Structure 1
Amino acid sequence: MPHTVGYAPGVYDLFHVGHLNILRHARSQCDYLVAGVVSDEVAELAKGRAPMVPLIERLEIVRSIRFVDAAFVETVPDKLETWKQVRFDVIFKGDDWRGTPKGDRLERDFETVGVGVVYFPYTVHTSSTQLRSAVERLAAGHGTTG
């Protein structure tokens, strides 16, 4: 019987329902789900700022979600390099990647190693960026920085 390994990478900063939905949907489409938790350094490289929640805490949160069979710390931005370490059959991304240069590149790269790319609906009403902005506004309004 085939055993499908899925991979759901993300920063998972300020964990919210959108993250939970991606992991839930991903787990429903594979036999074993590995959540890739992006390191602080790689997240800062990709997003231009460090996550608010430290890696060790983000890893613990994601590892504790019942849909996740294993958590893996992503320390390189190249997903093919990560694949060489994890060896998954399908990678899951939010559909905000679909049809973008980075999504097209992801699909091309993974086609070369037989890995499928599956997109899930992006939760537009809740995002870590919005949560971060709200926290920063609150902190600024109270004269605190952290």
Structure 2
Amino acid sequence: MPAPRTVVTFGTFDVFHVGHLKVIQRAAELGDRLVVGVSADELNMRKKGREPVFDETERMAIVGALKPVDEVFLEESLELKREYLVRYGADVLVMGDDWAGRFDEFGDICEVVYLPRTPAISTTALIEKISRS
């Protein structure tokens, strides 16, 4: 029997929507165990220039409660991606295709897969729509 495959993915997962659910479901289909890194509040501020709507504890609880997710951890730095992949035994790294090519360097330790984003949905667009209401 082949060794179980561990898939690791990362995201902010703020204002959780169907696009988030689909990427998690598709990532889970690529292996036997899914580990999800949820961006820390401070990391989100550095990446996006704004605080998330839901704090890191709430976002980790939401993602961790999803059936396909086996383990969740706090991603505190983009520069630690390699360390996270090694720590969690990644066989596959899954990212959205908006990051295409950005993580190819990790191909030496795991397979790197970029999944298409769900069209016409984004957290930023949702927040803007809500704030206009």
TM-fit CA distance, 1:63: 0.4
User: Structure 1: which 5+ runs fail to align?
Assistant: 99-103, 139-146
Which residues in structure 2 correspond to 1:1-146 (within 5 Å)? 1-78=2-79, 79-98=81-100, 104-108=101-105, 110-112=106-108, 114-138=109-133
TM-fit CA distance, 1:34: 0.4
SS of the equivalent of 2:125 reads helix
- Aligned structure 1 segments of 4 or more residues deviating by more than 3 angstroms: none
TM-fit CA distance, 1:121: 1.3
Residue 118 of structure 1 aligns with an amino acid whose one-letter code is: V
How far apart in 2 are the matches of 1:55 and 1:45? 14
TM-fit CA distance, 1:35: 1.0
Residue 95 of structure 1 aligns with an amino acid whose one-letter code is: D
Report the TM-score when normalising by structure 2. 0.92
Q: Which moved more, 1:84-93 or 1:42-51?
A: 84-93
How far apart in 1 are the matches of 2:103 and 2:130? 32
How far apart in 2 are the matches of 1:50 and 1:85? 27
Report the TM-score when normalising by structure 1. 0.84
Contact 1:7 1:36 in 2 (8 A): yes
SS of the equivalent of 1:96 reads helix
Q: Which moved more, 1:70-79 or 1:60-69?
A: 70-79
Higher alpha-carbon Rg:
1
Residue 15 of structure 1 aligns with an amino acid whose one-letter code is: F
How far apart in 2 are the matches of 1:87 and 1:2? 12
Q: Please tell me the root mean square deviation across aligned C-alpha atoms, in Å.
A: 1.2
User: Structure 2: which 5+ runs fail to align?
Assistant: none
How far apart in 1 are the matches of 2:46 and 2:95? 18
How far apart in 1 are the matches of 2:51 and 2:83? 22
Q: Which moved more, 1:78-87 or 1:30-39?
A: 78-87
How far apart in 2 are the matches of 1:117 and 1:55? 25
